[in-house]
Amino acid sequence: MSDLKEQLRKAGLVSEKRLRQVKHEERLHASEVGREGLAAERQEQEERLRQEEKARRQGDRAREQERKSKAAQHAATERLAQILTRGWIRDATVGTRRFFFVTREGRITFLDLADLAAIRLGSGTAAIVETGGAVRGAFCVIQETAAEQLAQIDPERIRFWNRRRERGIRDPG
């Protein structure tokens, strides 16, 4: 401690008079509380430092857990975006056939589909899904393989899919 005080004095941050005054106050305090009191103060100081260190470590752990959680969430979002982008049938929504479906909120809406896209939806080889900003528009038509992957990860995004199992047709194999 005295080394720090000397360094502060040499740097001109503390005057010689103030340094003598602090030393005097420390001696008075030491004589007032005695050896046991100084030891108790030292122990209290060490305990406080341990508690502060423990709190800092807990905060670090919580921040690291939050970072990992956000990274996992980001990875899941990226995975969904990849599935939607790869399975997106781009020319499906450029037609004159209105295809109605129900949104997550229970509202009935529609997409203007090409004839081939409407046939694919009817046969179950395509599905209408919420894009979540991954592709253009709030909803899009994706291929069956992408819909199968999406059903495993986030089935709530699928707004319409005429699955083969639901129609009673069994997959060969």
Q: What average pLDDT does the structure give for the chain?
A: 86
Look at the alpha carbons of 116, 117, 118, 123 in this order and tell me if their dihedral is positive or negative. Answer: positive
- Looking at the structure, tell me whether residues 59 and 6 fall in a common domain: yes
State the Cα–Cα distance between residues 74 and 78, nearest whole angstrom: 6
> Domain range for residue 34?
2-72
pLDDT-derived band at 137, boundaries 50, 70, 90: confident
- Looking at the structure, tell me whether residues 54 and 106 fall in a common domain: no
Asked if residue 146 lies in contact with residue 106, where contact means CB atoms within 8 angstroms, the answer is: no
- Looking at the structure, tell me whether residues 47 and 95 fall in a common domain: no
Number of domains in the chain: 2
> What are the pLDDT digits (tens) for 89-100?
988 888 889 999
Final residue of a domain: which of 44, 72, 100? 72
- Looking at the structure, tell me whether residues 65 and 93 fall in a common domain: no
> What are the pLDDT digits (tens) for 20-35?
888 888 888 888 888 8
Q: Cite the DSSP H helix spans in 88-129.
A: 115-123
10 Å CB burial of residue 159 (0-12, 13-18, 19+) is middle
Final residue of a domain: which of 40, 72, 104? 72
